[in-house]
């Protein structure tokens, strides 16, 4: 294990994904159809992913699967999540969309308890409850009479799409957990997702796509490459450090989002969004640290029991 290397890779992955989001927002502001962006994000991401798997000698294994039905379901849900997030960026600021995205781990805990029947103790439920209070604070400017000041009905629609992305992304994450426990390789999970989403998003061609100029074509290509590189860096980071150590660095995306949002689009997040995001981050970190403590305690107990056994 090389914790410093893992942290560095995780930070670079977060930067790649946030840069991709900034490019998507630029494309959305240029009125590129969401379906066209989802297609390019998925199809071009296959290039760095296949190069990486080929370099590791794992490219043959990515085709093997015993759960093609699960891949299709995950692609439909994950693709819909992408649609929602990409569309949301046309209506709300990059920092706001990023902050709302922190809701995903909270929803995942709830779905893991309901779908996977995972044991969720009182500490985690309390943290999830506090996290959802933070979500309510984040969303408060976009609801009721404050919606007009926050950007009008368009901003309210953007928040609804961002929340839809969170629910769908959490559902897709639970599905990935199921496939991993059933022995599906990470290469197959990534490959079939990108391939199937590319195929499904082609349907939107019927509604008309925008013919890109050189600048637009470069941006469309970039979102796929950045997404693929981000996934490679993310997977590589977990090879060098524990997930519990790396998880807090997900939240550095807010720093990048605020920098890109202000310098590229003149966006300044509302104070309530920052307060709510801080509460959500704190509650998520509590869940992460609590789970790390339970795992460590469980390992120590098991080791002690083995030591106590007679030879």
pLDDT digits (tens, 9 = 90+) for 224-237: 999 999 988 988 88
pTM: 0.85
pLDDT tens per residue, range 47-87 = 998 898 888 777 777 778 877 888 999 999 999 999 999 99
> What whole-number distance in Å separates Cα of residue 256 and Cα of residue 88?
18
Asked whether residue 145 carries a pLDDT value surpassing 60, the answer given is no
pLDDT for 147 equals 47
- Average pLDDT of the chain, as a whole number: 85
pLDDT for 135 equals 87
Lowest mean pLDDT segment, chosen from 30-44, 95-109, 145-159, 253-267: 145-159
Asked whether residue 4 carries a pLDDT value surpassing 70, the answer given is yes
Average pLDDT of the segment spanning 126-142: 85
Percent of the chain with pLDDT over 90: 41
Burial readout 89-100 (b: 16 or more C-beta within 10 A, e: otherwise)? bbbbbbbbbbbb
Asked whether residue 152 carries a pLDDT value surpassing 60, the answer given is no
pLDDT tens per residue, range 40-49 = 999 999 999 8
Asked whether residue 1 carries a pLDDT value surpassing 70, the answer given is no
pLDDT for 149 equals 47
pLDDT for 110 equals 84
pLDDT tens per residue, range 245-295 = 777 788 889 999 999 999 999 988 888 888 998 998 888 788 777 666 666
* Position 151 confidence tier, pLDDT thresholds 50, 70, 90: low
pLDDT for 206 equals 92
């Amino acid at each position: 294990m090389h914790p410093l290397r893992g942290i560095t890779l995780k930070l670079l992955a977060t930067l790649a994904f946030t840069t991709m989001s900034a490019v998507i927002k630029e494309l959305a502001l240029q009125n590129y159809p969401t379906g066209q962006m989802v297609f390019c994000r998925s199809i071009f991401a296959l290039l760095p992913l296949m190069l990486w798997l080929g370099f590791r000698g794992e490219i043959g294994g990515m085709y093997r699967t015993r759960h093609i039905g699960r891949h299709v379901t995950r692609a439909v849900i994950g693709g819909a999540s992408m649609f929602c997030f990409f569309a949301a960026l046309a209506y709300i600021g990059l920092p706001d969309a990023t902050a709302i995205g922190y809701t995903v781990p909270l929803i995942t805990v709830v779905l893991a308890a309901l779908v996977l029947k995972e044991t969720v103790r009182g500490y985690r439920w309390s943290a999830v409850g506090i996290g959802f209070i933070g979500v309510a604070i984040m969303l408060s400017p976009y609801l009721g009479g404050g919606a007009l000041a926050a950007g009008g009905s368009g901003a309210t629609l953007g928040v609804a799409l961002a929340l839809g992305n969170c629910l769908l992304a959490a559902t897709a994450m639970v599905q990935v957990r199921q496939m991993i426990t059933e022995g599906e390789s990470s290469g197959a999970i990534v490959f079939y997702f990108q391939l199937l989403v590319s195929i499904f998003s082609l349907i939107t061609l019927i509604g008309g796509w925008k013919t890109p100029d050189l600048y637009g074509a470069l941006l469309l290509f970039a979102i796929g490459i950045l997404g693929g590189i981000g996934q490679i860096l993310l997977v590589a980071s977990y090879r060098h450090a524990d997930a519990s150590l790396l998880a807090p660095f997900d939240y550095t995306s807010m720093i990048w989002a605020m920098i890109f949002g202000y310098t590229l689009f003149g966006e300044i997040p509302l104070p309530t969004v920052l307060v709510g995001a801080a509460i959500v981050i704190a509650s998520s970190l509590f869940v992460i640290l609590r789970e790390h403590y339970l795992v460590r305690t469980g390992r120590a107990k098991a080791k002690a029991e083995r030591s106590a056994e007679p030879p």
